[in-house]
């Protein structure tokens, strides 16, 4: 693993990555813990293009791929065990620090170069190459741009992967990070003829019984703080046990809190063994990532999260007072 160097401008970094790809034979690809559509979609698209270029690729996710993303092509090539071999390059997707990907250190030490591709503004320049573009809607949009620069003809399956990354990270092209560039990229991807409507059905019109039950529990718990500006959702371990549900079944539940008029931010507390996972959402300029970062987490201005050790009561007390100060 090379020493991190100072961040060069983005176009230079894209060029350096193109050169790295051309000159390397083996790649280790990893995304963040609790992977989402953007991480998985971007990883699969890069892997597919690298394989087409004759490269050896190893894909890793410490946590399993969520069920709703298992339709993606070659998703089974993502493994949860760390490889023992050496790689010319590691490409980390959406990891603001290498630790966001889990225990990658033993592998990264055996990689000649580490590449950091991310659109989170809290991303640190830990890579030998850092493509961090906070104005991009998604990592998939950055990967699209990389392929465009490389003159790669994106295939139908690769397009499906990148589209999945974009549509999920933008909340169906709804969040403010959605730009003309995002829609243009999505439009070009659509031209490849992938099954656009079927993917939307799988992503947005298919829900497991566990997800619906957990949603019901979360909605029942809904309460308000900071004079109605903050929506608070709480899910306990008992809620998950009752329905045999896992953390992934509560994904996107927090967005329901944002639907109530007058709400500027939402927070969801999800109990885990010995700690609480906290997720934040906000609108406009209200920067909830400041609160996430204050508690050791990270993310975007309008969507971020952290994990805090302690009881539900203690964590709720600390986080709600920090949020009240932010909203005051």
Chain residues in the site for Mn ion (CB under 5 A): 38, 138-139, 169
d(CA 213, CA 192): 37
Q: CB nearer to Mn ion: give 169 or 248.
A: 169
Q: CB nearer to Mn ion: give 257 or 299.
A: 299
Q: Residue 135 CA to chain centroid, in angstroms?
A: 15
Q: CB nearer to Mn ion: give 168 or 234.
A: 168
Q: CB nearer to Mn ion: give 139 or 164.
A: 139
Choose among 138, 107, 144, 113: nearest CA to 126: 113
Q: Residue 124 CA to chain centroid, in angstroms?
A: 16
CB of 169 to Mn ion, least distance (A): 4
Q: CB nearer to Mn ion: give 139 or 277.
A: 139
- Residue 311: C-alpha distances to residues 195, 305, 317 (Å): 45, 17, 10
CB of 158 to Mn ion, least distance (A): 17
CB of 178 to Mn ion, least distance (A): 13
CB of 79 to Mn ion, least distance (A): 21
Choose among 96, 111, 109, 97: nearest CA to 29: 111
Burial of residue 137 (CB within 10 Å: 0-12, 13-18, 19+) is buried
Contacts of 183 (CB under 8 A, 6+ apart): 173
Beta bridge partners of 111: 87
CB of 120 to Mn ion, least distance (A): 7
Q: CB nearer to Mn ion: give 108 or 162.
A: 162
CB of 117 to Mn ion, least distance (A): 10
CB closest to Mn ion, residue no: 38
């Amino acid at each position: 693993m090379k020493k991190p160097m100072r961040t060069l401008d983005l176009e230079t970094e894209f060029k350096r990555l193109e050169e790295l790809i051309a000159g390397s034979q083996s790649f280790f690809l990893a995304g963040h813990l609790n992977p989402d559509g953007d991480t998985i979609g971007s990883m699969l698209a890069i892997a597919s293009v690298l394989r087409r270029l004759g490269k050896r690729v190893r894909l890793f996710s410490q946590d399993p791929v969520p069920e709703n993303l298992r339709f993606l092509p070659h998703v089974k090539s993502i493994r949860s065990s760390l490889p023992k071999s050496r790689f010319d390059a590691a490409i980390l997707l959406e990891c603001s620090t290498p630790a966001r990907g889990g225990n990658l250190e033993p592998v990264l030490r055996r990689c000649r170069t580490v590449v950091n591709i991310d659109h989170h503004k809290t991303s640190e320049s830990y890579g030998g190459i850092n493509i961090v573009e906070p104005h991009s809607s998604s990592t998939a949009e950055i990967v699209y741009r990389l392929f465009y620069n490389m003159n790669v003809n994106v295939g139908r399956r690769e397009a499906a992967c990148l589209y999945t990354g974009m549509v999920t990270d933008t909340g169906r092209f709804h969040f403010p990070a959605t730009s003309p560039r995002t829609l243009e990229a999505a439009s070009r991807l659509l031209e490849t003829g992938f099954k656009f409507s079927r993917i939307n059905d799988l992503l947005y019109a298919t829900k497991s019984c566990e997800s619906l039950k957990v949603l019901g529990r979360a909605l029942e718990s809904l309460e308000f703080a900071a004079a109605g500006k903050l929506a608070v959702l709480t899910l306990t371990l008992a809620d998950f046990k009752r329905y045999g549900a896992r953390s992934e079944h509560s994904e996107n539940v927090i967005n329901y809190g944002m639907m109530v008029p007058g709400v500027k931010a939402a927070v969801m507390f999800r109990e885990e063994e010995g700690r609480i996972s906290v997720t934040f959402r906000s609108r406009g300029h209200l920067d909830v990532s400041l609160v996430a970062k204050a508690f050791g987490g990270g993310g975007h201005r309008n969507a971020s999260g952290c994990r805090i050790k302690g009881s539900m009561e203690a964590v709720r007390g600390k986080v709600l007072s920090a949020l009240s100060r932010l909203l005051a």
